[in-house]
Structure 1
Amino acid sequence: MSTPYDVDNLRRTVQQLQKSVSALDGTESGLRSLREDLESAESSLGSRLDDVEASVEQRRSDISEVEDSISDLESDVADMAKRVAWLERRARAEAGDPVVDLGARNPRINRLVKQVTAGRAAEARLLSSVDRARLEAKVRAFEQTAAARDQALAEVLAATAVLATAGHGTKAFEQAAGRYRTARTRLDTSLFARQRADAAAARTALQRDEKLDQDLAEAVAVGKDALRQLTDLARTRISEAVAGTALLPVWFTAAFGPMPPRSGAERWLARATTTLVYRISYTVTDPVVALGVIPEQATVRQREDYQEAKKPRYR
């Protein structure tokens, strides 16, 4: 039976629970309000992000249109500059202004071209680095095969000696028989013979090339020095012509313009020099096309030089 004291305690407990429930109701209401505010904020933020993305995309489109307009304008300006240069050239030509002959030949240039040609002909008789590496690889391959064959032969002989002395059916006999069979399969005589023949031919070619290299070393060195001198001469001619008052030839201005660009002048001059050296070396006389048309009977070296000179130019 409960005492009055117990009833009071129970009453207080019930009241506290009621207060807790009331507090929880308030908290739940607050949480619900916070959740609604958060959802509203997320919705508003998403809408604003969509607006920002749309604005950014529009700006990108505007920038792209401006860049296209700038590109078109630059193209128009370049075309106009070419036309002005053409009109200026025509007016100066009608006035009798001289045209620089960048490719003019003289005894010194003729001698240099002859030396360059002889040096290149000598180089052409020598093995290229690729061919030399290929022949050296054949020699190394045979040496590796020969070493492996010698090892296999030694193992066969060792196993044979055991087989000759060990009793048939013994453990030593069976182990030696296994070693013999394994080593015997590595004695591929057909591969050895083929690689030996290839290596012999490769050694002969390498020795012949070494002897030829010694015989032609002077001609190759003279040719390289002549090419350096010819390149310096061509570079000087171009520099003096650009700095002078005479007209540049049509083929030059068509390929490089009348002067170097504000940036990349050194690269411009190097490419123009390469082109002039090509014209001088191969007697190109085309008045409009810088490299002319490569002839069908052109040598491999001329085709290589042609491709080198055709690399992108700096206008």
Structure 2
Amino acid sequence: MSGYDSLGLGEEQGRRIDALKRSQDTFERSIDHALSSLQSKLSDVEGTVEHLEDRERSATRRFDTLEANLQEAKETAEARSDELEDAISAADAGLERLTTRVSALERHLRQAEGAVVVDLDSDRGGKLRGFGLAVEEGLAAEEALLSAHQRNVLQLRITHYQQARQALAGHRSTVRDAAAVLASTAAGDPRREKAEQAFTEAAAEAQKGQERIGRLAQSAQGAQAEQSADNARRAKSAAVIETGQRARTQLRVRLRSRLSDALTGTDLLPVWFTTALGPMAPPRRAEEWMETALEVLAYRVTYQVTDPVLALGSAPSASQAPHRAARFNELKRDLRDWG
């Protein structure tokens, strides 16, 4: 007798209980396997997290190190900047003291017996002034002409008008061709529908083009008149402009030679020159300095400025001599870099 019989259970019920036990054993083994797998994955995750935490701590240490290095570099740069500013201030102070000493030495030399001051304004026979006046006349003639930009604007107005006329001619040609097709074909002809569409569209565009031409015609006529007037002025003033350009070259060559001799010689420079430009050219901007000095010399010989202290003399009247006043103001701005 089986154990189940002793419990009062039948054979069928015993088999079912055995099957349930086997299912329970299988389920428990599956649970154990799943738990084991989960614990293994959890262990892997914990290892990954720990590795990431280690990397984060390492990155934090590197960041802290970089931040410290950056702060140190910043402090070093600021210290060097302060040192550089102090050095520049000291150099400026030294230069100012040197300039004062040079000025005092110059005054002493000027008072000494036999001291010679270079005459940069000398113009025997007025030849240099003649060159200068020719330059001024040429520049005035050039200023009376339209600039390249202004001429381009005028030409653009004329071009727009010409393009509008060409477009209108094209639309009218399309209208004529379409009308010819409509006049020579019967209803139902496959060419007729296309011709009707072309006629309608071209006729509308021609109407718009005609209205546009009406607006552009007056503008183009005015532009052509301005172009013609400018062309006439150019032809009339061509010789004056060319003479002025040659005179400018000759004037600058002579003044540069005179200034070079004065700078390399032993005689004293005029007070007006050293006051405005200093005793010599700065090493790094020598060419700019020379250009400004030449323009000042040209201004003085052209307008016969003889002021012993002021490089440009007194300010001219803008209403009576507008071009000279413009040059005066321009040179005055340039001299701010050197005086």
TM-score, scaled relative to structure 1: 0.76
In the alignment, structure 1 residue 279 sits paired with structure 2 residue 300: yes
Distance 2:308 2:279 in 1: 15
Question: Partner of 1:188: helix, strand, or coil?
Answer: helix
Distance 1:202 1:246 in 2: 59
CA shift at 1:52, angstroms?
A: 2.0
Alignment correspondent of 1:303: 326
Alignment correspondent of 1:203: 224
Alignment correspondent of 1:182: 204
Matches within 5 A, 1:159-174: 159-164=178-183, 171=193, 174=196
In the alignment, structure 1 residue 91 sits paired with structure 2 residue 114: no
Count of equivalent residues: 292
User: Letter of the aligned partner of 1:199 in structure 2?
Assistant: A
Alignment correspondent of 1:120: 139
Distance 1:176 1:60 in 2: 77
Alignment correspondent of 1:105: 123
Q: Is the 8 A contact 1:155 1:179 kept in 2?
A: no
1:28-81 deviation line (CA, Å, top 9, x unaligned): 999999888766655544443343222212101211111210121122122112
CA shift at 1:203, angstroms?
A: 2.6
Structure 2 gap ranges (5+)? 1-43
In the alignment, structure 1 residue 72 sits paired with structure 2 residue 95: no
CA shift at 1:164, angstroms?
A: 4.7
1:275-299 deviation line (CA, Å, top 9, x unaligned): 2222322344454443453532233
Question: Partner of 2:90: helix, strand, or coil?
Answer: helix
CA shift at 1:160, angstroms?
A: 3.7
Distance 2:83 2:236 in 1: 65
The 1:301/1:175 distance shift into structure 2, 3 A limit, reads farther
CA shift at 1:229, angstroms?
A: 0.8
1:138-197 deviation line (CA, Å, top 9, x unaligned): 2222211111121122223333444555567963564245334433343333x3134223
Question: Partner of 1:247: helix, strand, or coil?
Answer: coil
In the alignment, structure 1 residue 225 sits paired with structure 2 residue 243: no
User: Letter of the aligned partner of 2:245 in structure 1?
Assistant: K
Question: Partner of 1:141: helix, strand, or coil?
Answer: helix
Alignment correspondent of 2:171: 152
User: Letter of the aligned partner of 2:97 in structure 1?
Assistant: M
User: Letter of the aligned partner of 1:104 in structure 2?
Assistant: S
Q: Is the 8 A contact 2:171 2:202 kept in 1?
A: no
Alignment correspondent of 1:193: 214
Task: After superposing the two structures, state which structure 1 stretch, 231-240 or 104-113, moved more.
Answer: 104-113
Question: Partner of 1:66: helix, strand, or coil?
Answer: helix
Distance 1:166 1:49 in 2: 89
Question: Partner of 2:221: helix, strand, or coil?
Answer: helix
User: Letter of the aligned partner of 1:117 in structure 2?
Assistant: E
The 1:249/1:35 distance shift into structure 2, 3 A limit, reads same
User: Letter of the aligned partner of 2:317 in structure 1?
Assistant: P
CA shift at 1:239, angstroms?
A: 1.0
Q: Is the 8 A contact 2:172 2:202 kept in 1?
A: no
Question: Partner of 2:283: helix, strand, or coil?
Answer: coil
TM-score, scaled relative to structure 2: 0.71
The 1:94/1:37 distance shift into structure 2, 3 A limit, reads same
The 1:42/1:125 distance shift into structure 2, 3 A limit, reads closer
Q: Is the 8 A contact 2:116 2:267 kept in 1?
A: yes
CA shift at 1:225, angstroms?
A: 0.7
Distance 1:128 1:32 in 2: 75
1:256-289 deviation line (CA, Å, top 9, x unaligned): 2111223443332222112222232234445444
Distance 2:180 2:51 in 1: 96
Structure 1 gap ranges (5+)? 1-26
Distance 2:259 2:104 in 1: 22
Distance 1:122 1:33 in 2: 86
Q: Is the 8 A contact 2:179 2:195 kept in 1?
A: no
CA shift at 1:216, angstroms?
A: 2.7
Alignment correspondent of 1:133: 152
- Structure with the greater alpha carbon radius of gyration: 2
User: Letter of the aligned partner of 2:225 in structure 1?
Assistant: T
Distance 2:195 2:165 in 1: 28
The 1:222/1:47 distance shift into structure 2, 3 A limit, reads closer
Q: Is the 8 A contact 2:178 2:198 kept in 1?
A: yes
Query: RMSD of the alignment, in Å?
Result: 3.7
Alignment correspondent of 1:18: none
Task: After superposing the two structures, state which structure 1 stretch, 203-212 or 39-48, moved more.
Answer: 39-48
